[in-house]
Amino acid sequence: MASWASGVSVVTTRRGDLLYGLTVSSLASVSADPALISVCINNDNKGAAMISESGWFAVSVLGDDQQDASNYFAQSGREPSADFVEVDGSWTRSGLPVVAGAIAWLVCDVTQAVAAGTHTLFIGRVTDAGSEAGRGPLLYWRRGYRQLG
């Protein structure tokens, strides 16, 4: 799978007063009508349980200058916290955190959680979204970050 180039996103969720986020490359569009997306998360990650319990998540599509955000949310062993520590965040209208300056973001309600081996495939109905023009996406290929161009 290292030969598969993909965009880099951060999936975030909130349960009560605690926030958690993780870097993913498994974001996919599922349906245009209704607007559905999927993310696949390892069950050993705290994010999988928090999304299952809260029933919602947000996705921040990272820009080509946001490698630090990707690296922060890719660190294992982090605990849910009241705020992001090393990365600037912002809040969506619904109250979910997203990475500040992301080139796009989506807020989703979980419609299905499908067990898939060591992972859970979460399908979410998009309830809110936004984007910023002018920057390219952060890409990941062959175990390294890449940029378009």
Q: What does the pLDDT average to over 67-73? A: 95
**Close Cβ partners of 144 (under 8 Å, ≥ 6 residues apart):** none
Domain annotation covers residue 132: yes
- Selected residue with higher pLDDT from 27 and 145: 27
Grade residue 125 by pLDDT with cuts at 50, 70 and 90.
very high
DSSP 8-class letter at 63: B
In-domain check, residue 149? no
Rounded Cα distance, 145 and 53, in Å:
32
The structural domain count of the chain equals: 1
Domain that holds residue 25: 6-144
Q: Is residue 52 part of a domain?
A: yes
pLDDT surpasses 80 at 85? no
CATH number at residue 133: 2.30.110.10
Q: Is residue 1 part of a domain?
A: no
- pLDDT for the residue 82: 86
Q: How far is CA 134 from CA 63, 64, 88, 131, 137, in A?
A: 10, 11, 20, 10, 10
Q: Distance between CA atoms of 148 and 137, rounded to whole angstroms?
A: 7
Is the residue at 89 inside a domain?
yes
Q: Per residue in 18-62, pLDDT tens?
A: 999 999 989 999 999 999 999 999 999 999 999 999 999 999 999
